[in-house]
């Protein structure tokens, strides 16, 4: 069971509610789409799923139907009340909170958890990065985001969408665009299509803070050669030691090259 376009419209009308643009609310109203997302999420009995921005519960119902244990987070007070009436009878736990402020690690406890969510464009990138940085209990994600955001999350070195966020995500996980969703399946209809991005956490080493500092400095002046954009951030000798061309630009380096470059402390002596 999930919600159709008519049911979503009726729920909103019955409770005197309307989608709020400030919260980026676009509700999925196509049962086939939410069932497809649940399949791509690869969840079932024994899995624990957190859904952020659950809305009226269309995707929530599809996830619960797989047999997974679902915790749904919703920030909008009016919508959250309706969400409870729709999904709590299906065994779903509803948490009314702003995911950007919520102690998600504390809420979830030990892993593994899977995040499945339709994320508003204005919070998608910071939320994904925050979850990767702070919530290791979430070992996999399947997020529906604006197509442009999806391209950035999964971009590889040298591609047009590649940027600092792409590198930061790649430090923590592998990210792949696994599908696209047309604007026609939402109410209200957004102006852009959406992408489905699968993110799978992998083991990482130490030194993330330094890595992030170097990446952000490099992309902060991405038109410049690295020896200039990273002046004062890495020692000149670090380029040769790391096997990175000093005249390269930020978008040319993959995550491993950024990692090697960041491994050299700002004031480390040039190796002999």
Summarised one tens digit per residue, pLDDT across range 67-96 is: 999 999 999 999 999 999 999 999 999 999
Quick: pLDDT tens for 19-73. Answer: 887 777 899 999 999 999 999 999 999 999 999 999 999 999 999 999 999 999 9
User: CATH number, domain at 15?
Assistant: 3.40.50.150
What pLDDT does residue 70 have? Answer: 98
Pair 237, 188 in one domain? no
Dihedral sign from CA coordinates of 39, 42, 45, 47: negative
What pLDDT does residue 265 have? Answer: 55
Structural domains in the chain (count)? 2
Question: Which of 8-12, 165-169, 220-224 tops mean pLDDT?
Answer: 165-169
What pLDDT does residue 271 have? Answer: 41
What pLDDT does residue 269 have? Answer: 43
Pair 142, 232 in one domain? no
Q: What share of the chain is helix, strand, coil (3-state, %, to 5)?
A: 40, 20, 40
User: CATH number, domain at 221?
Assistant: 1.10.8.100
What pLDDT does residue 180 have? Answer: 97
Q: Is residue 270 part of a domain?
A: no
Number of residues in the chain: 272
**Rounded Cα gap, residues 81 and 54, in angstroms:** 12
**Rounded Cα gap, residues 140 and 130, in angstroms:** 14
What pLDDT does residue 182 have? Answer: 96
Quick: pLDDT tens for 106-115. Answer: 999 999 999 9
What pLDDT does residue 268 have? Answer: 45
On average, the pLDDT of the chain sits at: 94
Range of the domain at 244: 208-262
Q: Does residue 2 have a pLDDT over 70? A: yes
Pair 93, 49 in one domain? yes
The contacts of residue 220 (CB under 8 Å, 6+ apart) are 229
Pair 156, 22 in one domain? yes
Token pair 């929530």 in the structure block, residue: 60
What pLDDT does residue 266 have? Answer: 53
Q: Is residue 267 part of a domain?
A: no
What pLDDT does residue 170 have? Answer: 98
What pLDDT does residue 272 have? Answer: 38
Pair 232, 121 in one domain? no
Closest CA to 81 of 3, 2, 27, 16: 16
Pair 161, 258 in one domain? no
Across 266-272, average pLDDT: 44
Q: Does residue 218 have a pLDDT over 50? A: yes
Inter-residue contact 117 to 53 (CB < 8 Å): yes
- What tokens were used for 183? 């604007």
Q: How many CA atoms lie within 13 A of 133 on its CB side?
A: 14
pTM given for the model: 0.92
């Amino acid at each position: 069971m999930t919600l159709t376009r008519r049911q979503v419209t009726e729920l909103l009308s019955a409770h005197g509610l309307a989608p709020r643009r400030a919260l980026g609310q676009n509700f999925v109203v196509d049962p086939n789409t939410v069932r497809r997302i649940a399949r791509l999420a690869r969840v079932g009995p024994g899995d624990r799923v957190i859904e952020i921005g659950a809305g009226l519960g269309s995707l929530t119902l599809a996830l619960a139907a797989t047999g997974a244990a679902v915790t749904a987070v919703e920030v909008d007070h009016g919508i959250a009340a309706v969400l409870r009436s729709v999904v709590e009878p299906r065994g779903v736990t509803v948490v009314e909170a702003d995911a950007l402020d919520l102690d998600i690690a504390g809420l979830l406890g030990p892993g593994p958890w899977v995040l499945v969510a339709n994320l508003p464009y204005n919070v998608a990138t910071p939320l994904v990065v925050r979850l990767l940085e702070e919530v290791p209990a979430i070992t996999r994600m399947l997020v529906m985001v604006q197509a442009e955001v999806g391209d950035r999350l999964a971009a590889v070195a040298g591609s047009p969408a590649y940027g600092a966020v792409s590198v930061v995500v790649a430090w923590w996980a592998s990210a792949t665009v696994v599908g696209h969703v047309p604007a026609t399946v939402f109410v209200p209809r957004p102006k852009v299509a959406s992408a489905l991005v699968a993110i799978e956490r992998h083991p990482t080493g130490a030194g993330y803070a330094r890595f992030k500092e170097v990446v952000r400095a490099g992309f902060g002046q991405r038109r410049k050669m690295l020896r200039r954009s990273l002046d004062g951030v890495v020692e000149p000798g670090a380029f040769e030691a790391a096997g990175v061309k000093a005249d390269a630009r930020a978008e040319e380096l993959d995550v491993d090259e950024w990692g090697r470059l960041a491994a050299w402390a700002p004031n480390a002596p040039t190796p002999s």
